[in-house]
Chain A
Amino acid sequence: MKLSTVFLSLLLTISLNAEEDIFDESLEDIFNMKTELKADLGSRGAAKNFLDSNVPVDVITFQQIQNSGLTSLTDILRYFIPGFNAPETSVADGSDHVRAFTLRGMSPDQVLVLVNSKRVHTSALLHVNGTIGRGSSNVDLDTIAPSSIQRVEILRDGAAAQYGSDAISGVINIILKGVGHKSSVSVHGGKRYDGDGEQLNADSFISIPLKYDGFVNLTLQAKEQKKTNHSGDGITHVGIPDSKNFSAVLNAELPQDNSLTLYANSIINYRDSRASAFYREANATQEGFLPQISAEVLDYSFTLGIDGELANSIFWDLSNVYGYNQISYKVDDSKNYSLNTSSPSSFNNGELSFIQNTTNLDFNKKFSKLFLAAGAELRYENYKITQGEESSYINGGSQGFSGYTPLNATDDSRVSYAMYLDAIYNFSDAFILQGATRYEEYSDFGSAVNAKLAFSYKLDKLLLRSSASTGFRAPSLAQSNYSHTSSFGSNIEGTFKPEDEVSVALGAKPLEAETSQHFTVGGIYQPNNHTAFTVDYYYTGVKDKIMLSNEFVLTPTQQTQYGVDKARFFTNAVNTQTEGVDIKFNYSYSFINSSTIDFGIWYNYNKNRVTGFNDSSTTRENSFEQIDRVENGQPKENIKILTSYEFKKITSTLNINRYDSYSQVIDNQSYKFNAAWTFDLDLNYNISRDINIALGGHNIFNTTPNKWDGLASSTSHYGYDDIKPYSRYSPFGYSGAYYYVRANIKF
C-alpha cells in the first residue's frame, strides 16, 4: 500500500466514517467520495455532521440546487423541505411581488434568515391582504441568486436563545460558495404547459482564488419571468406576475499570513414586477379597465468582517451587516374616479423602505470537554413610508391600489442590544449537553431573556436528542408603524397604527413582543453508512401572536368623531400552539458500476391551533377568516420522495410531492381544497467534465388544484369563483406544468 493512500484514507475516514475497505480504493476514487454533510447551525462551534446535531437540521447542497432546475430560492426550499410553504398568490397588491413563506405553518416573520451565519434584513413589505402570511414581513429570498449558494441549512427548532428575535419556527442559514468552486456560466429557458409563463434565466459565477485559500467570488443573475394567467374571465390577471430580476452576489475572504481573515459579502437585487388588480367595470360614463400594479424592489446588503485567533486559542469575530430593502409602487392603466376626466392613468403611489444595520462581536474557546461562546450584538433599524403623488391617494385614490397619504408617511427607528452565552459540554463521546442564554433589549418595547437546553446521547447506531427553549419575536417596526388609508368622500378607511386614536377606540393596545416555548424530542438511527432514519416530535407555543385585525365598522358616533368608516390595526391577538412530527428515511449508495443513488422519503405532519384570544378585537366569531387561515389554510401533511440516480454521464432527479388538503374562507364560509400529488423530473447529461445540458419539468403531469366547490358565481369582475377559480393558498400554485432546458459550462 502506498503512503499517500494511507494518509488520505486516514483523513477521509475522519470525515467519511467510511468502512475499512477505503484502504483498497484508488486515490481517484477516494477523491470522488462524498464526505459527511456538515452544517454550521445549531451551535456556534465548527460545522458538524448534521446527522450528529442535537436539534433537527436539514442541509440542501449546491448540487441538489442545480439538479432541481429551479432558479428561485423560495422554490428551492419549497422543493426540498417538507413543511416549508410558499404559495404563489395574485391580485394581492404587494404580496404578488414579494413571496411570503412559512415554516411549520407559522408566520413568515417567525423564521430567522441568515447569510453566512449573519442576520439578514426583512423586506419592507407587510403582507396585508388575505394571503398566507397576512400581517407579517419576511425576508425576500428571491433576492439571492441560487448559483451563488454552496448550501442551505434549515434548523427546524426555536433558537431565539442563540440567534435572537424571530427564530421561533426555525432558522434558515444560506452559506455562499467559498473556496474551490469552478467558475461557470449557465442558461435556463422554459415555459408552462399552457404556453405562457416563459422564463429565461442566465447566470455566471466567477471565482478568483487568492493566497492562503482566500477567494473573491462574484455571481450575476438575470431572469425574466413572463406572467401566467388562469383567470376565469380572461380579462383579470390571475397567476404569476411579469417580472425582471437582476442579482449580484459578492463573497470574498482574504486570509492574512497571521491568524486574521478579512471577509466581505454583498447581495444586490433589483426587481421590476407587474401584476393586476381586479377589473374595473365599465359604466355609463367610462370604459372598463384593468389596473396594473408595479413594484420596483431594490434590495442590497453589505457585510464586512474580520476574524482571528488570540494567543490563548480564543477565536473572535467582528462584523457589520448593513441591509436595505425598498419597494416603490406604481399603478398604470388606472383612474382616480374623483378626478373624472382629468385623472391621470399612471400614478406614483409611494414607497416603503427598511434599513437594518447589525454589528456583532463574538468570541469562542474550546477547553478539553467544554466549548464556550459569548458575544454581543447592536442592531439599528429604520422603517419608512413615503407618500405617493396626490392624485394617487386623494378621494379614494387610484383604482387598484391607492397611494400612501401624507398621514401614512412615517419615519421610525429603533436600536436593540443583545448579549449571549452558549456552552456545550461533552460529558463523554456519547453524551453532549448544550445550554444557551441571550439577553436582548429594544428601545421601543423593552427587554427579553431567553434560554435553551439541549442534549444528544449516542447509543451505538442510535442518536437520541431533545431540546427545550424559550423564544420571542419583537414587533417589527412595520407592524408598529404601518398605516394605509384611503379617503372616500369626507371619511377615510383602511389600516391604522395601533397607537392611532381610531385603533385605540376600537380596543387596540401598544404592541408587545410575542413570546414562545419550544420542545423537541427525537432521534436518528443509522444502521449503516448508507441509511438514516430520523424522527422528531416538536411543540411550539406562542403567546401574544401579532395579527392584523379584521376590518371593523365604526359606530355612527365614532364615525362622526373620527371621520373614519372602517379600520383595522395590528394587535397581539391570539395565543397559538404548533405541534407535529418530522419523519425521514435517507438512503445513499455507490454501486460497483460507479452509479450512485440518493433516495429520501420525508414526511411532515403539522397542526396549528389558536388556543386563546387576548381581547375582544379578535374572536373566533368576528375573525373567522383570519383564525381559519392560521389553523387550516396550509396543508397539515406533506410528503416528499426525492430520488437522484447518477450513472456515468447521466444524472436523473425525481421529486414526488404530496400536499394535504387546506381550506380558505370567503364570506365567512370555509371552502376545502383537495390533497394533490405533483411530480418534478430533471435529466442531466454531462457532455464532458465541464459541460452539461439538462431537460426537465416541474409538476410535469400538470396537476392543478380543484376549483371552489359551491361558491356562488360572481355577478361582476370582482370576486372569486368566475374570476379567481383557484385558492390563492394553493401550496403548489395554479399555473400548471413547467418544462425547461438548461446548460452549464464550467471553466
Chain B
Amino acid sequence: MNNPYGDLFNQILKEKKVRDKEILIKYIDSIDELKFTNILYIPVSNSRKLEDILVKTKNKNILTVSDIRGFADKKGIVQIYFVSQKVKMKINLDSATQNKLKISLSLLRIADVIKEDTL
C-alpha cells in the first residue's frame, strides 16, 4: 500500500472523538475501494490520479482534503499548503457546495477562499 504516513494517523487519533463519535481511519489503494467516508485525504503521491478521484467523490457529501499543489484550483475542497514554516489553507467553496457541505465561517475567515468568480 502506498501510505507515506504509516500508522501515524491511527496513533494520533486513538481515543479521539468528534461529537462523541469515534474516528475510524481506513487506508485505500484505489478510489474504487472507497465506500463511505466523511473526509478523504489524498496524499501528494496521488496527484496524477487526482482528476479521477475528484470525479468519483463529486456530489457524495465527502470533504476532500489534500496538500497536492493546485488542489483547490483543480476542484478539491480543502487544500493545505505551507508558506515558510506556517500552514495555510485554501478552500474551494463551489466544490464544497457541490458536495453539499457547509464550511463554518470561522474556518473561512482564516482560509483563502476560491469561488467561481475568483477563478
Contacts and interface: CB of A to CB of B under 8 A. Distances in A.
B67 A11 contact: yes
Contacts of B104: 2, 4
Interface string B53-85: 000000000010101011001100010111111
Contacts of A4: 104, 107
A179 B23 CA distance: 33
A27 B107 contact: yes
A178 B82 CA distance: 10
A61 interface: yes
Given A7-B65, A35-B87, A61-B85, A213 B70 contact: yes
B86 A34 contact: yes
A442 to B, nearest CB: 38
B interface majority secondary structure: mixed
A80 to B, nearest CB: 16
A212 B76 CA distance: 11
Interface string A6-50: 111111111100001001000110111111110000000000000
Interface residues of A, number: 47
B88 A31 contact: yes
Contacts of A214: 70
A212 B81 contact: no
Interface of A: 1-4, 6-15, 20, 23, 27-28, 30-37, 61-63, 150-151, 178-181, 211-214, 255, 257, 259, 309, 311, 313, 366, 429
Q: Which 10 A-B pairs have the closest CB atoms?
A: A212-B70, A180-B83, A34-B85, A212-B73, A35-B85, A213-B69, A4-B107, A213-B70, A11-B80, A211-B73
B74 A36 contact: no
B6 A429 contact: yes
Given A15-B87, A33-B87, A259-B48, A212 B82 contact: no
A32 B65 CA distance: 20
B16 interface: yes
Given A13-B8, A35-B85, A313 B48 contact: yes
Contact of B38 (A2, A3, A20, A35): A3
B47 interface: yes
16 contacts: A1-B18, A6-B23, A7-B78, A11-B67, A23-B16, A35-B86, A36-B85, A62-B84, A179-B83, A180-B83, A181-B83, A213-B73, A213-B81, A311-B48, A366-B45, A429-B6
Contact of A150 (B5, B80, B84): B84
B45 A313 contact: yes
A178 B81 CA distance: 12
A20 B70 CA distance: 30
A212 B74 contact: yes
A255 B85 contact: no
Nearest to B88: A180
B91 to A, nearest CB: 10
Contacts of A6: 13, 16, 18, 23
Contacts of A34: 85-86
B27 interface: no
B73 A63 contact: no
B87 A12 contact: yes
Given A7-B41, A11-B67, A309 B48 contact: yes
Contacts of B70: 211-214, 255
A13 B87 contact: no
A214 B73 CA distance: 11
Contact of A1 (B16, B82, B83, B110): B16
Contacts of B12: 9-10, 13, 20
A46 B63 CA distance: 27
